[in-house]
Structure 1
Amino acid sequence: MTVLDLRETPVPDVLDHCTAALRVDLDRAHPAFGWGGKSVGFGTDRGTWVKIQFRPVSRINERIWAGEECASVLTGVSKPQLLGSVRWADSSRDLVWRADETTRVKAPTVSSTPELRTEPQGLSDGWWETLRGSLTALAGATTTRVAVRQDLIDRRISEYAGPAVDPRVDEWVPAHADVHWANLTAPRMVLLDWEGWGLGPRGLDAATLLAFSLLVPTVATRVSDLFTEDLSCRSGALARLFMCAELLRMTSHHGDHPDLAGPLTREADRLVITLSAPT
């Protein structure tokens, strides 16, 4: 299986193909790379944004590969507008590429990393209301896509809590499933990267943002207060425990987000006690 890091491996043939297919010129002098160099974005000569990404042929699936198109019909959500897409097979690398052209969001992301480390600037009351309104509208949408499966929740919660917690989710709603601080812009609130959205436990998006806010208690409190109904129901508590367990697994297996290990463990332990208590 071909593994590429676009930060280190130039792919001029891919950029040429994208330019010809979308009939757009890319600002190749200023690339913006995604996590692990698995994607790259460019401004264009018509003021739009083009994101290019790849997947090995063996790993193409609807959940990831068709997310942007499926999200293009959502209403009431502050997100980039999809303008055009192209995808093509690359037999020489055993990959499939895709490029999506969207409206360009000029506001920067709140953080360069998913986790928040310092008090952010530019998050007005209006920013928070736009975030809540967008996630509320998303949760009210209709989709057959699945972002997080019950069997994955079962595994992660049982790995952490054993049989003490019943992991069965009773409320499922559409979720972005990757709401963190590198996917949110300010001072205008726009939610980026819609590849993996779909059904998840109620409270998943709030639980994700809360987990990535634990290093800044004032922001964590703001998230908790803003989404208290979603986070305090049983589904929301399970979503919180799932996210803690998932991120702790990423920390131990891949070294990601090491500073979060302590706060995540304390949060997970509190949730285990709450969820295992007799009702």
Structure 2
Amino acid sequence: MHPEPDDPQVSVRMRTAHHRARTALDARPHPGGHEAWGWHGRTLGRPVTAHDGPAWLRLAAAPLDQADSTFWNGSRDAKDTIPNRVPRPCLRTIHDWNEPPWRYRAELYDHVDEHPVTASPILTTDPNPPTSWWTSLRSALGTVATTPTARHTTDQQYLDWAMPKFLSPAVDTRAPSWNTAHGDMHWANLCAPQLTMFDWEGWGLAPTGYDAATLHSYSLLVPDAASRIRREFADVLNTPAGRFAELAVITELLESTTHGDNLPLAEPLRQRAAHLLRDDAAGEIAP
């Protein structure tokens, strides 16, 4: 989750649109339910009561002149493609409408009893989930990785541009291999102690190990948690492909800091990148 937008007009517009979506889907706000804002107010979710019981209503907004079918249709495509054994809320229905210059999509999901591990993507305390949780996460990401898709979380063209800019002009930008990723694997999108995975809008092909690398990068402020991730996903991260995935994720997060996002991670990300690049130059595997 992210903070409420700084611009009060965005907050009013999104709350008004959320009310319209509830009316269209015959849903009432759940008493005392909290709001969950997305990046820069692009999404707004909150618990509701629908005609068939508790639910979650997520509203997304995008400018009409900015077509991005990958993220816009991510949740719908995940419902149709990702195997049901991957634990996530069931998408019940979708309602679309336009109010120029905006288009809106309301997604009604089954209610989930568990709560996200953290309220924001960056980890600040060790959640220390049980061993069974890690087993479930490895299994789920393994299933996602082998799911065929033509969608892309990131692509080679972006890596060719961004990695030399944010890491080193001499860095090798060629991904050793690709597989399917959730695409936004941080602690605010994960529930514990019972695993549930939220936010499937950006899933698609990415460098192999991308999800483990993302979770690790968002955990750098908590060394014990980062070490646990490296142990749990050693079979992926301690490989050339996994090290490349880390560098790709670090690149994306460093770019985000230039827009004012993820600023507490900036220096730890640079230090981790230097460590990986130094060991790669020496032909060693970075733990």
TM-score in terms of structure 1 length:
0.90
One-letter amino acid of the structure 1 residue matched with residue 42 of structure 2: K
1:68 corresponds to which residue? Answer: 75
Distance 1:11 1:246 in 2: 27
2:64 corresponds to which residue? Answer: 57
Distance 2:179 2:253 in 1: 21
SS in 1 for 2:147: coil
Distance 1:258 1:52 in 2: 27
- The reply on whether 1:273 has 2:278 as its aligned counterpart is yes
Q: Is the 8 A contact 2:166 2:254 kept in 1?
A: no
2:26 corresponds to which residue? Answer: 23
SS in 2 for 1:155: helix
Distance 2:180 2:165 in 1: 25
Distance apart, 1:245 and its partner CA: 2.2
- The reply on whether 1:129 has 2:144 as its aligned counterpart is no
Q: Is the 8 A contact 1:180 1:212 kept in 2?
A: yes
Query: Residue deviations 1:52-79, cap 9 Å, x none?
Result: 1100012222210110011013112111
One-letter amino acid of the structure 1 residue matched with residue 154 of structure 2: V
Q: Is the 8 A contact 2:18 2:44 kept in 1?
A: no
1:103 corresponds to which residue? Answer: 110
Distance 1:193 1:219 in 2: 22
2:170 corresponds to which residue? Answer: 164
One-letter amino acid of the structure 1 residue matched with residue 93 of structure 2: G
Residues 126 and 160 (structure 1), Cα distance of their counterparts in 2 relative to 1, 3 Å cut? same
Aligned-residue RMSD, C-alpha: 2.1
- The reply on whether 1:154 has 2:160 as its aligned counterpart is yes
Distance 1:8 1:103 in 2: 25
Greater mean deviation of Cα atoms: 129-138 or 20-29: 20-29
SS in 2 for 1:190: coil
Q: Is the 8 A contact 2:59 2:107 kept in 1?
A: yes
2:243 corresponds to which residue? Answer: 237
Aligned length: 273
Q: Is the 8 A contact 1:44 1:50 kept in 2?
A: yes
One-letter amino acid of the structure 2 residue matched with residue 196 of structure 1: G
Matches within 5 A, 1:1-279: 8-11=11-14, 13-27=16-30, 30=33, 31-45=35-49, 46-73=53-80, 74-75=82-83, 76-91=85-100, 94-120=101-127, 123-251=129-257, 253-277=258-282
Q: Which runs of 5+ in 1 are unaligned?
A: none
Distance 1:54 1:4 in 2: 15
Residues 36 and 81 (structure 1), Cα distance of their counterparts in 2 relative to 1, 3 Å cut? same
Greater mean deviation of Cα atoms: 78-87 or 24-33: 24-33
Distance 1:129 1:261 in 2: 30
Query: Residue deviations 1:145-178, cap 9 Å, x none?
Result: 1111111112221113434221111311110110
Distance apart, 1:99 and its partner CA: 0.5
Residues 200 and 163 (structure 1), Cα distance of their counterparts in 2 relative to 1, 3 Å cut? same
Distance 1:188 1:5 in 2: 36
TM-score in terms of structure 2 length:
0.88
Distance apart, 1:10 and its partner CA: 4.6
Distance 1:86 1:6 in 2: 23
Identity over aligned pairs, percent? 33
Distance 1:12 1:193 in 2: 20
Distance apart, 1:138 and its partner CA: 0.3
Q: Is the 8 A contact 1:28 1:42 kept in 2?
A: no
Greater mean deviation of Cα atoms: 262-271 or 25-34: 25-34
Distance 1:173 1:164 in 2: 25
Residues 168 and 22 (structure 1), Cα distance of their counterparts in 2 relative to 1, 3 Å cut? same
Distance apart, 1:229 and its partner CA: 1.8
Distance 1:114 1:257 in 2: 9
